[in-house]
A and B are shown apart, each in its own frame.
Chain A
Amino acid sequence: MKKNNLTMVLITLVLVLALAAAISMVQTSQDTRRGAYFAGAKMLFDPISYSKKVGEDLLVPVYIQTRNIANTSEVSKVDFVQVNMCYGPEIRIEAQSGQEQEIKNNITIDSQIDPSFTEIVYAKIDSTSTGSNGSCLEFAVRSDLAKDSLKSGIVRVATVKYKAVSSGTGNITFDTVRSMASGYNTTDPNNIDQSIKLDEFVNATYSITGESKYSRGQCNSSTGKYVCSVSQTGTYESLAECEQSEGCESASPTVTPGVTPGTTPGITPSVTPTIVQATPTLTNDVGNDAAVRFKLSFVGVRPEGECSSWAVNLIALGQGGTRVYTNVPLSAAQSDGSNKVNYTAAMVLDGFKNTSGVSLFIKGPKHLQMKYARDGQNSAYDKAGGELVLTTDINTTPEYDFSAYPMLVGDVVTSGSGGELVESQDGVVDGRDFSYVKTKAIQRGSVDAGGWLLADTNGDCAMNSVDISTLMLSLAEKQGQLY
């Protein structure tokens, strides 16, 4: 009997131990992955204080600064960031319809130049969380770059464009709960721990001065309010007065005569606000926008070429500001006797106000994008930023000479989603471009002066073996830079 009792006690003890072990293991399993961060990071605005007048744009760059991966000296790479930033009623995102694309148009991720992120996943404005005290903008960006190309350290997430709408001061603050980030964890072979812990936030302040003046546009039938824009010549003192919806739907639209704010005569804005279809013209107007004049040349183009009147796309970059201008025409200048042709351009950079530390990224219709950032540049500019100094007067702004570093040619085709050849640029000169130009050169063909042939890389109005040589020159130069 005693022996039986002893056995029972032992069994009970063993079972109690097993129970305790099981409870312990359950607890342990809860801690394995959930909420695990592989690195820390800071989210910040830079600059952290802004001073603007009513009607002006307020460009707020958002950065993330990633730190070392736990127990390593390697800085974590970031591939996804969600930002929730709240602000007062003195500033607003210009999105009259409230539609997502319109909100996205106010967010720039600089996807064309050494991108950190490649896509704005979504964007929305939440006015309910802060009520009449302001709104919160929430957006997410992601990168589909290869893991080696993902950025680490101080990475610009996006630049958000606000419009200053009434005088006052306020803060732009991150929502520390709704802001988050993830990245590529090189130390985790299974790539499970992706979350980056945002453990520090740096907010910003703004000060808006000046009187509000609004101009009323057409009635927005979906919102029942007038479309109102800030205008220096507006007729309404407050936004509420301008937006009042009484009779909005039945009233005839009242369009403020003159130029619509935010646009410039002769310049048609494209879908996103940062893209401007520019028709550069020489003007004597001296405004706030920077003006630029430059001279460049194209690889292989000779004075006798008559099919090289190519317009270029231009990106102006400087001190956090970026503007894109498409179809910028060039004027052919006289040859300087060196058997090449120099082309000139002069334009006011509409909306671009930075005048120092400027660099220009120029791309032709069959050319690689070139960075020009120094006067007399004769090779690739392999540093960040730029050294160009501009003025706001087209007559006095310096003319920069980039002609000693000709634009490389040969970016003419790419592959479609099914592998088919597409006559479109992909930013690279490679074997597909070579093969395309070679095939066309074998077929031969020509056009009259001023005509267009994609495979005519030297602009002599004909497709022949010289086009192949010109492309190979560019390819060798580019590969020399890369490798």
Chain B
Amino acid sequence: MNKNILKYIVPIIAVLVVVESVILIARLTGNNTADNQTVQTKVTEPTANVPDQVSKNLGQPVFEVVIDTPISTWKAGEAQKVVIKLNSLEERALDALSVFVKYDSGKFEVDNITYDVKLPKPITLKASAKTNLVVGNFMVAESGGLKLSKGDSLALLQFDIVPKEAGEFTFELSTSQDSKESATMFVETMTSKELAYSGNKLTVSVTQ
């Protein structure tokens, strides 16, 4: 009798386990879908590798902005160099070059900001602890603007930076999605239009 009961119980429990497993998997999938929908409706952060100017229908990038450093592993307390380069992908002339690089003024000290000799004297050139931005704002007074050929490269900004503590940190351009007033922008001569660019995100690891 006992043996007969066991013969029935085992398959019944096995079926229950299978059913529960199916329910579990179905619910997990459902939750994931709901979460994804939530993320999609939320305003998403700008991703440095996907230039926001493309999303603003400015067309294909005319410039590539590269935030670079010789080594990606830094040591706290030791000065490092960061350079923001502009690589021209087409022949263009510029009236204005406004560069805003986000950094954490609580974690870094920025000093010795310089700019390419081809650029005019900047209206603003500073690291602003108030806004956590390194700012370089250049207006070109020459009537023809600053002419750039395809393949030309400019060191828009270069600065020394001293990390205060260990950790992993990123540097990226401030765009119009971050702030209307602090949007990195390249304005074409004569048309006065913003030109599309792509930008990267520099991630560095700081050790003690």
Is B172 close to A, CB under 8 A?
no
Q: A190-B35, A191-B39 are in contact. Are A15 and B14 (CB under 8 A)?
A: yes
Are B38 and A144 closer than 8 Å at their CB atoms?
Answer: no
The residues of A that contact B35 with a CB separation of less than 8 Å are 33, 190, 192
Known: A15-B14, A435-B96. A33 touches B31 (CB 8 A): yes
- In the complex, whether A19 has a CB less than 8 A from a CB of chain B is yes
A431 touches B139 (CB 8 A): yes
Q: A15-B13, A22-B24, A33-B35 are in contact. Are A482 and B181 (CB under 8 A)?
A: yes
User: What residues of chain A lie closer than 8 Å to B82, measured between beta carbons?
Assistant: none
Determine if A436 and B38 form an interchain contact, defined as CB atoms under 8 angstroms apart: no
Q: In residues 70-125 of chain B, which contact A (Cβ within 8 Å)?
A: 95-98, 123-124
- Please tell me if A32 contacts chain B, counting CB pairs below 8 Å: yes
> In the assembly, what is the distance between CA of A426 and CA of B180, in Å?
9
A421 interface contact, C-beta 8 A = yes
What distance in Å separates the Cβ of B64 from its nearest Cβ neighbour in chain A?
18
Q: Tell whether A99 is near chain B: CB-to-CB under 8 Å.
A: no
Chain B residues, CB < 8 A from A148: 178-179
Interface residues of A in 1-43 (CB under 8 A from B): 4-5, 8-9, 11-12, 15-16, 18-19, 22-23, 25-26, 29-30, 32-34
A439 close to chain B: CB less than 8 A? yes
Q: Is the CB of B34 within 8 A of A33?
A: yes
Given A5-B2, A30-B27, A148-B178, the answer on whether A194 and B187 have CB atoms closer than 8 Å is no
Cβ contacts under 8 Å, A147 to chain B: 43, 45
Q: For residue A337, which residues in chain B have a CB less than 8 angstroms away from its CB? A: none
**Residue of B185, B193, B196 with highest tally of chain A CB at under 10 A:** B193
Q: In the complex, what's the smallest C-beta–C-beta distance from A414 to chain B, in angstroms?
A: 9
Q: Which A residues between 131 and 190 are near B, CB-CB below 8 angstroms?
A: 144, 146-149, 190
Task: Give the Cβ gap from B197 to chain A, nearest Cβ, in Å.
Answer: 12
The distance in angstroms between the C-alpha atoms of A431 and B100, with both chains bound, is 13
> B135 within 8 Å of A by Cβ?
yes
Residues of A within 8 A of B186 (CB): 431
Q: At the interface, is chain B mostly helix, strand, loop or mixed?
A: mixed
Q: Are B191 and A19 in contact (CB under 8 A)?
A: no
Query: Are A26 and B24 also in contact (CB < 8 A) when A475-B123, A479-B135 are?
Result: yes
Q: A34: which B residues are within 8 A, CB to CB?
A: 31, 34
Which A residues are in CB contact (< 8 Å) with B97? Answer: 431
A458 and B6 alpha carbons, distance in the complex (Å) = 98
Interface residues of B in 13-71 (CB under 8 A from A): 13-14, 16-17, 20-21, 23-24, 27-28, 31, 34-35, 38-39, 42-43, 45, 53, 56-59
Q: Of B24, B58, B143, which one neighbours A442 at CB under 8 angstroms?
A: B143
Let me know if A8 and B130 touch, CB within 8 A.
no
CB A148 to nearest CB in B, in angstroms, measures 7
Chain A residues closer than 8 Å to B45, beta-carbon distance = 147
Q: Is A430 an interface residue (CB 8 A)?
A: yes
Which of B13, B53, B143 is close to A19, meaning CB atoms less than 8 Å apart? Answer: B13
Closest chain-A Cβ to B113's Cβ sits at a distance in Å of: 12
CB distance from B177 to the nearest CB of A (A): 6
Do A413 and B192 touch (CB < 8 A)?
Answer: yes
C-alpha spacing A25/B27, complex, angstroms: 10
Are A438 and B95 within 8 A (Cβ)? yes
Q: Which of A29, A480, A483 contacts B131 (CB 8 A)?
A: A483
A144-B43, A428-B180, A472-B123 known; 18 new pairs, CB 8 Å cut-off, are A9-B6, A15-B13, A15-B14, A25-B24, A26-B20, A29-B27, A147-B45, A149-B179, A190-B35, A419-B56, A432-B96, A432-B194, A435-B188, A439-B95, A442-B143, A468-B141, A482-B130, A482-B182
List B residues at the A interface (Cβ < 8 Å). Answer: 2-3, 6-7, 9-10, 13-14, 16-17, 20-21, 23-24, 27-28, 31, 34-35, 38-39, 42-43, 45, 53, 56-59, 95-98, 123-124, 126, 128, 130-131, 133, 135, 137, 139, 141, 143, 177-183, 185-194, 196
